[in-house]
Amino acid sequence: MVATAATSSFFPVTPSPDSSDSKKKRLGNGSINLGGIKSKTSSSGNLQVKANAQAPPKINGTKVVTPPAEVFKNEDGVSFHPPRTFINQLPDWSMLLAAITTVFLAAEKQWMMLDWKPKRPDMLIDPFGIGKIVQDGLVYRQNFSIRSYEIGADQTASIETVMNHLQETALNHVRSAGLLVDGFGSTPEMCKKNLIWVVTRMQVVVDRYPTWGNVVQVDTWVSASGKNCMRRDWLVRDGKTGEVLTRASSIWVMMNKVTRRLSKMPEEVRGEIEPYFMNSEPVVAEDSRKLVKLDDSSAAFVRKGLTPKWSDLDVNQHVNNVKYIGWILESAPLPILETHELSSMALEYRRECGRDSVLQSLTAVSDNGTDEIECQHLLRLEDGSEVMRGRTQWRPKNAKISGNVDQIPADTA
């Protein structure tokens, strides 16, 4: 039967005149009903046929005029319609093909977005900047590509870029753990008690700065630090070679965002964050040297009139801590910036400042008789209140760095 249908689709069978005449004879005179078609004989003897009325079809709200069915005539002049075959009962092939093509193109676009793979090893490993949890759920890992607007005059990433990557991974870590509710890293219990995290101390060691187009891999984790503090560490690697680029360690405490005073860690909050604590040593050994308090007599370089812009404020309505680093470097001598690069820094945050604050940056340079330079820094308000103390180490540019750290395996998945 299939063979018959296929054959009839390519070789239509033409009815003979005799069969047509015999059908006419069998119809005879009078009214008949053939599949909803009513016929009635008029007084003139002619056959009048009236089909059931149907509304013209619509496609996307537009009326489509259907062409009349093709009519053939045989040798005797008798009209007849072509036989109903398998082919002429199918829908319009062009419309069907267009629909299939559209579906395949849409599916291919979605697949390319979900299964994007770099064509060069130096291209972005994580194209959408989506991090992941590794090390038994205790370490958060995220990749960043160094953009053209993130590099400085040395054609390498600025220290502000590095610090922004650290801050971004810290927040994404808290969010991926389901603890980010309001503010920067505030847990549900912290929100109930109007508590927010603030950083008090930070140490950063930079072995090498990435350049434009490099991909860096940032790992971060948290650990307990005393009874009321939390320590957060970072390890930044070259995404291609696994070379350690930057190590950083910080201490965080809680502050009431209404009274702006430091607060002890409530037991309810401790219960929320303790499951995420990692038992590890600081990635940067603590520098126990006391940070020097500078004044007008001990500071050789002073920059006054520093004011925050609206874009310098974070969601907690105080100046982002990364901005403080830029301010202390405002008073660093230009010859040092031209010949040396920042290799490490120790920071101590003492007071927050808001959008109406006016600050002064003070720097003193210590000459230890080597190629490396050490600077002492102070950021203060106009009334003399300390905002931050700092110490920075500078090495000659293009100096080779020895030593490496391998706290977290780079190939851990």
pLDDT tens per residue, range 75-87: 666 666 666 665 5
Of the two residues 177 and 35, the one the predictor is more confident about is 177
pLDDT, mean over the chain: 78
**H helix or E strand, kind and range, residue 252:** strand 244-256
Dihedral angle over CA of 86, 88, 91, 94, nearest 10:
120
Complete domains list, the chain, with CATH? 122-286 (3.10.129.10), 289-399 (3.10.129.10)
User: Tokens at residue 30, please?
Assistant: 């009078």
pLDDT at 402 over 60: no
Helices (H), 177-215: 188-192
Which range among 174-188, 325-339, 369-383 shows the weakest confidence by mean pLDDT? 174-188
Q: How far apart are CA 56 and CA 106, in angstroms?
A: 31
pLDDT tens per residue, range 149-158: 999 988 999 9
Percent of the chain exceeding pLDDT 70 equals 67
pLDDT at 140 over 70: yes
Distances (CA, A) of 232 to 60, 207, 219, 229: 59, 19, 11, 10
Instruction: Please identify every residue annotated as catalytic.
Output: 316, 318, 353
Per-residue pLDDT, 65: 54
> Is the pTM value of this prediction over 0.75?
no
pLDDT at 376 over 90: yes
Per-residue pLDDT, 43: 43
Per-residue pLDDT, 214: 96
CB 244 within 8 A of CB 404: yes
Q: Over range 170-195, report the average pLDDT.
A: 81
Which range among 48-57, 80-89, 195-204 shows the weakest confidence by mean pLDDT? 48-57
Q: How far apart are CA 127 and CA 117, in angstroms?
A: 9
